[in-house]
């Protein structure tokens, strides 16, 4: 396999999360990332796809989750698009604030930012969110 890019189109179901993680870690492994980096990719991809399935597409199976895996000179890139209402990342409460510590949700973005080197959010012109993450080599 010498592909530089792979595209996935997965239904908005919880089992798509594991599928995306397997595809992403296999791709990253193939392009030379080590085991500890694969764990980081696993954690971040799990969170970004879970957010797209649950919060973006609200598990509506008619709405896909589009994922692009890319090997670039900078590193391993993952782009995930959902077809939900979108959100402003700056409006998401900091889960490490003492007042939020005992909340059950809201740690996914923290995990993405912790395990990847860059995470960016965009609103797609035709609706939905795009999350772009980079793991540098």
Name 86's Cβ contacts closer than 8 Å, sequence gap at least 6: 56, 123, 124, 127, 128, 129
125: contact with another protein by CB under 8 A: no
Q: Which of 17, 52, 67, 133 binds another protein (CB under 8 A)?
A: 17
Q: CA-based angle 50:137:118, to the nearest 5?
A: 45
Strands 75-81 and 129-136: antiparallel
Beta carbons of 24 and 69 less than 8 angstroms apart: yes
99: contact with another protein by CB under 8 A: no
Q: Which of 9, 72, 114, 123 binds another protein (CB under 8 A)?
A: 114
Give me 128's structure tokens. 């939905």
**DSSP bridge pairs for 77:** 70, 134
Cα distances (angstroms) measured from residue 64 to each of 101, 106, 130 = 32, 23, 13
Nearest distance in Å: CB 114, another protein: 5
Nearest-CA neighbor of 80 among 38, 26, 23? 23
| Range in contact with another protein (rule: CB under 8 A) among 4-12, 23-31, 108-116, 125-133 | 108-116
| Range in contact with another protein (rule: CB under 8 A) among 61-69, 72-80, 81-89, 95-103 | 95-103
Nearest distance in Å: CB 70, another protein: 24
Q: Which of 9, 39, 124, 136 binds another protein (CB under 8 A)?
A: 39
9: contact with another protein by CB under 8 A: no
Q: Which residues bind another protein (CB under 8 A)?
A: 14, 17, 39, 43, 46-47, 50, 54, 95-96, 101-105, 107-108, 110-111, 114
């Amino acid at each position: 396999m010498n592909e530089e890019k792979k595209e996935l189109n997965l239904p908005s179901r919880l089992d798509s999360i594991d599928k995306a993680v397997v595809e992403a870690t296999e791709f990253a492994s193939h392009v030379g990332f080590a085991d500890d980096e694969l764990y980081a990719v696993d954690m971040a991809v799990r969170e970004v796809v879970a957010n797209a399935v649950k919060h973006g597409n609200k598990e509506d199976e008619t709405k896909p989750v589009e994922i692009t895996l890319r090997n670039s000179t900078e590193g391993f890139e993952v782009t995930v698009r959902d077809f939900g209402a979108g959100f402003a990342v700056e409006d998401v409460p900091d889960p490490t604030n003492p007042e939020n510590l005992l909340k059950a949700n809201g740690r996914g973005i923290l995990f993405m930012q912790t395990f990847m080197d860059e995470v960016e959010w965009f609103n797609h012109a035709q609706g939905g969110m795009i999350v772009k993450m980079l793991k540098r080599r």
